[in-house]
Structure 1
Amino acid sequence: MDSVRKEKYALIGMGDFGSQLAVTLAKKGIEVLAIDSSMEHLEEIKDVVERTVCLDATEEKALESQAVEEFDAAIICIGDEFEETLLIVTVLRNLGVKRIIARATTTRHAYILRHLDIEEVILPAVDAAYRLANKLSLQDQFNRLELSSDYEITEIRAPSKFIGRKVGDIRFREEYQVVLITIKRIETQPHFWGLATRDVERFIGIPQPESVIEKDDILLLFGNRKAFEHLLSDPESSFPPPGEEG
């Protein structure tokens, strides 16, 4: 039986980001060619990755000697030297590399790279800021769809008094005169070979009595405005801790 072909990537620039990516890929069984103009950077990872080469990636002949066009992708991991990144993009194109992934440190740099038809652009700092902003903005977020002068569908962050409780124990209809339609949950999933994460919204469907409300859940509710005001203003003491009802 033929052995399964290993993926292989050529990584250019072994700073903090590049070396971490190289090590992460190598530990996942991927063949990594690590390229940097500094032998010192390569020394730190040489025992982990498949191969390291010290060369100037802006020199076409030097890069051509490594047959980078045969790899599944070339990933430019350089951060601050954007001019160098552009030169390497040109070299890789000249060598016939079909898939080029490039790191950008600013949105302007990302914009330029995408206009050069680099579809896969990594923006680590911007992605991290976006995730944090999304997380923080959920704290007081209310989205409303008015159905009439009295009734609406409202999206609210789960009050702390509900967290850890079963849906059936909260008695939305009896206690608050609202209907729980569904629960939107923000889940953090690994992204880009585990080096980064991204927040993904997931609806849990029709909540069952045994469904447990978790921290940061978003509740989609139907009811009238006064009912929502009661729910949101109701003191936490009106609910005993889980397991102590009645």
Structure 2
Amino acid sequence: MGNYLNSLRLRRRKRLAAQYAQPGDQRVAVIGLGRFGSSLAGELMRRGWDVLGIDTDAGLVQKYSDGLTHSAVADCTDPEALRQLGVGDFTSAVVAIGSHIEASILVTSNLLDAGVSNIWAKAISRQHGQILERLGAHHVVLPEHEMGERVAHLVTGRMLDFIEFDDDYALVKTVAPDVATGMPLGQSRVRSRYGVTVVGIKRPGQGFTYATADTVMERGDVIVVTGKTHDVEAFSELS
């Protein structure tokens, strides 16, 4: 079950890799090789993408150059730097600059002017994200904010893991509440009564199994449920 949840979390937190480009185009420029940018670039490389990593810090570029298809030391707030590197020919680019908001905005603007059709930009605050969206960035991510929300759910509730999607839809790992145990899922009417769907169950000492209408939850089972965020939150608090 851990692998199952990890794959879903990876799809959400690094959905960049799955949605970047049009079919057949697996080139991406990652501008900013800090913790977020270098982690993203490495993941894309592992998925077989052609990655150009760019940063103004020669030390960072040297550090990660062996793991990238191409790398360059350049200041992408200068449109000429982007032109010389041929970034305008890329379908996708990621602005992974976090701490320097002005640079983040300038680079995003330059990428738009260069005609890059799929731009992802990291924001360090909601206000920063709003500026990037208004500027024209196609996708804005707030990794620290999203992780903070996830941990808050885990700290304040009985959930063992929590993943929320953009449309107020969540997937949660929790312990089966007593009110839903001892009878088949079809009979307990979990979906109609609580608005959640039980995806799978892991019984102590056994492997993860997908749930069906005939599955009977028992006390102590670890379950994975999906539904609207407020519904899965309420369900996980049942006793």
| TM value normalised by structure 1 | 0.61
Instruction: Give the % identical residues.
Output: 26
Aligned length: 176
* Match among 169, 184, 191 for residue 197 of structure 2: 184
Structure 1: give runs of 5+ residues left out of the alignment.
Answer: 141-155, 173-178, 188-202, 221-230, 233-246
Aligned to 1:215: 222
**Structure 2 CA distance, aligned partners of 1:185 and 1:5?**
36
Say whether the 8 Å CA contact 2:53–2:61 is kept in structure 1. yes
**Structure 2 CA distance, aligned partners of 1:219 and 1:48?**
37
Aligned to 1:244: none
Per-residue Cα deviation, 1:51-87 (whole angstroms, up to 9, x for no partner): 0011111111111111112212110001110010111
2:115 is aligned with 1:96: yes
Per-residue Cα deviation, 1:205-239 (whole angstroms, up to 9, x for no partner): 63x1455673255699xxxxxxxxxx95xxxxxxx
Tell me the CA shift for residue 137 of structure 1: 5.0
**Structure 1 CA distance, aligned partners of 2:108 and 2:98?**
14
| Matched letter for residue 83 of structure 1 | E
Per-residue Cα deviation, 1:8-47 (whole angstroms, up to 9, x for no partner): 1001011111111111111111000001111100111111
2:52 is aligned with 1:33: yes
Higher-helix-fraction structure: 2
Q: Closer, same or farther in 2 for the Cα pair 1:204/1:111, shift >3 Å?
A: farther
Aligned to 1:190: none
Say whether the 8 Å CA contact 1:186–1:216 is kept in structure 2. yes
Say whether the 8 Å CA contact 2:176–2:217 is kept in structure 1. no
Aligned to 1:226: none
Per-residue Cα deviation, 1:79-116 (whole angstroms, up to 9, x for no partner): 11001011111211221111111000111111211122
Per-residue Cα deviation, 1:164-218 (whole angstroms, up to 9, x for no partner): xxx5xx258xxxxxx511363489xxxxxxxxxxxxxxx9563x14556732556
Aligned to 1:52: 71
**Structure 1 CA distance, aligned partners of 2:179 and 2:119?**
48
| Matched letter for residue 181 of structure 1 | R
Aligned to 2:147: 128
| Matched letter for residue 222 of structure 2 | K
2:129 is aligned with 1:110: yes
- Could you list the structure 1 runs, at least 4 aligned residues long, displaced by more than 2 angstroms after superposition: 132-140, 156-159, 182-187, 203-206, 209-220
Aligned to 2:170: none
Q: Closer, same or farther in 2 for the Cα pair 1:6/1:89, shift >3 Å?
A: closer
| Equivalent residues in 2 for 1:134-145, closer than 5 Å | 134-139=153-158
Q: Closer, same or farther in 2 for the Cα pair 1:125/1:69, shift >3 Å?
A: same
| TM value normalised by structure 2 | 0.63
| Matched letter for residue 189 of structure 2 | I
**Structure 1 CA distance, aligned partners of 2:138 and 2:116?**
14
Tell me the CA shift for residue 139 of structure 1: 2.8
Q: Closer, same or farther in 2 for the Cα pair 1:11/1:5, shift >3 Å?
A: same
Aligned to 1:43: 62
Larger radius of gyration: 1
